Structure 1
Amino acid sequence: MKLHNIRSIAEPLIIGLIGAFLFHLFHAPLPWMLGPLTGVTFWHFSTGRKLSWPAPFRDIALIMIGYMLGASFTQRTIHEIGLHFPYIIGVTLITVIGSLFLGLLLVKKANVKLVDGLFGSVPGGLSQVAILSEETKEVDTGLIVFMQTIRVVLVILVIPFLTMYFIKPGSMMQGSPMTEGSISYPVLFGLLGIALLSAFVGKKIRLPAAFLTGPLIAIALISISAIQVPDLPGGFVLVSQFLLGIHLGLYLKKNMLGNIRKLGFYSMLTSLLLVGFSFLLAILLTQVTSITLATAFLSTAPGGLAEMGVTATIVDADLAMISGYQLFRIFFIIFIALPLLQWWVRKREADIK
């Protein structure tokens, strides 16, 4: 590896460590994820320096988080998720429809094209939305990436604070669960090997967010089969949070400044409205089901599966239930909502011509 590349990697690493230390010092929630995310975002955006963070670092983080989420599944939780399935479908549909209405608000206020506003507001995975927008020539991919980035970063910053300070206060002092107990490390590393293999298999068969969902599904199947799956040690969880935090912090770049002046305010406003909408859905869920407000909010929140899963470990929410809601929404958006939106855009353009 060239010296220049080493320096460009070392820079976000150092900034991330400083951010984690400061967040830990001030007892902020998720210091090992939100600290690096905030520090690297500020440094990257304010200086405009070209920083590197290799994709394998992100993939390692996602594999470990996928393992952690998969290990939370049992036969009992699968039964409970099955009972919740009508609610999972309903929450997903309401969230997607609500986000599209907020996209219309963005179109009206920020003066962007209808198709750009809708694509930019869909609460799917940033990379998947960006790839599909690249395949749709009628869409401005740069604007889509900017709007999705604003949503992802804002939601990941806001939701842990809301969850830990207001919904379940007093749970924000620790960065991750550190009670490891007796762990069989040969079994643990064997299962991590299976998680790694399932990530590459998932990528091969084009599974959405394969390095997260592949391990999640594989480890969940093993756990459901009554095989004892060791919990991921606290140190591993901290490392996964740190690696993911730096990766997320590099989303915002200085060359997005022009877009920020144009529609940054309304992107942030609609993202916050979507968070508020999700909170109302969560309250409704607690009225019709037996799940706690923390579990309901992290299930309905328009954040990523990995980020909401990490937050759930801190507030002792139901990881499996949150994974069920979030995973279904990912698959629904990637395989149904976005292709339908892409088809509508192309049909609309054809009708205009």
Structure 2
Amino acid sequence: MLLNRILLFIVALSLGHMLMRLHLPIPFLLGGLLTAIVCKTFAQRAQVSWPKQLREYALMIAGYGIGSTFTADTWSNFLQELRGVTEATVVILGASLLLAFVTAKLARENLKSCIMGMLPGGMTLTMLLAEDDDEVNPNVVMVMQVIRLLSVVITVPFLVIWLLDAKVVGSAVSMPNHGGVHWLVFIPLAILGSFIAIKIHLPTPKLLGPILATAAFAVYSNGVQPVPVYLMAPAQVSIGLFMGMQLDAKRILATKKMVPYILIGTAFLIVVSIGMANVLSARYGFSLITAFLAMAPGGIAEMSLAGMSMNENVSVILTYQLVRVLAINIGIPPLLKWMFPQKQA
């Protein structure tokens, strides 16, 4: 098993390096993701898995890298754009709930399962809720969340390149060093941020904790150095491998009738994101690429890393993605209790 994991990691790292040479966005994350998908699809007898703990460590490194992009102007910009952040969150969540109702109707599936499965940015929360709720089909939730996330992570970076003429100017692993506190500060920041995030029950604490701790420290100390490439590249590979390993053929076969609706729904969410991105870009003046990555129904780490590789405004992307994730994780449990009062314990 250990040898298989080492070989898997080497293949994913090599593929990531090749994708980087081709100037593709988030190459190492995509390298891990594609390697895992191919392995799960064509080498099922190899019994390869990727430990969640390695993904957690990788998220802590990525969280520092994302948080280090914060500046003193970030908070000020957030307050100025509060209306846009609120509107963006309401629009994408409203579209997701509408799709859940349509999917449940057409696929004749449990409405509660479809709501949990369609929410963008709520994968960790919805899977935990699904495990504890006898009224929910966990297969549906898992398949909907995984296919949506994988579809967005793979398609959105390429859409902004082909449709919006974005340029990949880096790899999101080798960021310019503008000075500041030495990058080794990420160790105490990541540990402290993760610890606090776990204690206050933040979603995805190993990512959000380091992001928030690093962002606060970067603003206070006038900057920190980026994580070196020899740490960020393996971290992205580890995140991609874990994501790809979530694609379970047995679960998909058990809910295969849902797959067309999931893909169509994901495409609809992307279209809605593009529409809202045009509104935000025109109103606040940041690029359409930044606005699209901020709106895209993907993960915080993936969209922020894509923005880093294209030299976009990562603080804007992170702000919009973060507010949506927090809104889902804080607001959805009471919403579900209100919508399904008789099905709650």
Q: 2:96 aligns with which of 99, 122, 131?
A: 99
Deviation at 1:122? Answer: 1.2
Q: Which residue does 1:43 correspond to in 2?
A: 39
Task: Decide whether aligned partners of structure 1 residues 262 and 165 sit closer, same or farther in structure 2, where only a CA change above 3 A counts.
Answer: same
Aligned residues: 343
Mapping of 1:279-294 within 5 angstroms? 279-294=274-289
Distance 1:33 1:201, change over 3 A: same
Of the candidates 164, 167, 171, which is equivalent to residue 167 of structure 1? 164
Query: Offset of 1:184 from its aligned partner?
Result: 7.2
The correspondence for 2:71, drawn from 46, 50, 74, is 74
Secondary structure of the residue that 2:163 maps to in structure 1? helix
1:349 and 1:327 map into 2 onto residues whose CA distance is 30
- 2:292 is equivalent to residue 302 of structure 1: no
Alpha-carbon separation, structure 1, partners of 2:289 and 2:313: 9
Counterparts of residues 325-344 of structure 1 (less than 5 Å): 325-344=320-339
Say whether 1:86 aligns with 2:67: no
Write the distance in 1 (CA, Å) between the matches of 2:2 and 2:173. Answer: 32
Task: State whether residues 18 and 36 of structure 1, in contact with CA within 8 Å, keep that contact through their aligned partners in structure 2.
Answer: no
Matched, 1:205 2:228: no
Equivalent in the alignment of 1:215: 210
- Read off the aligned partner of 1:327 and give its amino acid letter: L
Tell me which of 144, 148, 156 is aligned to 1:147: 144
Question: Partners of 2:175 and 2:133 in 1: how far apart?
Answer: 48
Cα separation, partners in 2 of 1:179 and 1:191, compared to 1, 3 Å: closer
1:64 corresponds to which residue?
61
- 1:312 to 2:310 alignment: no
Task: Measure, in 1, the Cα distance between the counterparts of 2:5 and 2:130.
Answer: 29
Q: Which whole-Å deviations, capped at 9, do the CAs of 1:156-177 have from their partners, x for residues lacking one?
A: 10111112333243326x4235
Structure 2 residue matching 1:225: 3-state secondary structure: helix
> 1:281-334: per-residue Cα shift (whole Å, max 9, x none)?
101111221111111111111111000110010111111111111111111000
- Structure 1: give runs of 5+ residues left out of the alignment: none
| Cα drift, residue 154 of structure 1 | 0.5
TM-score by length of structure 1 reads: 0.90
State which of 19, 23, 43 in structure 2 corresponds to 1:23. Answer: 19
Letter of the 2:91 partner, please give it: I
The structural deviation recorded for 1:180 is: 4.4
Q: CA deviation at 1:81?
A: 1.0
Tell me if structure 2 keeps the 8 A contact 1:11–1:51.
Answer: no
Q: CA RMSD in A?
A: 2.1
In structure 2, relative to structure 1, the CA distance for the partners of 1:175 and 1:338 (3 Å cut) is same
Is 1:112 the counterpart of 2:84 in the alignment? no
Question: What pairs up with 1:185-196 in 2 under 5 angstroms?
Answer: 187-196=182-191
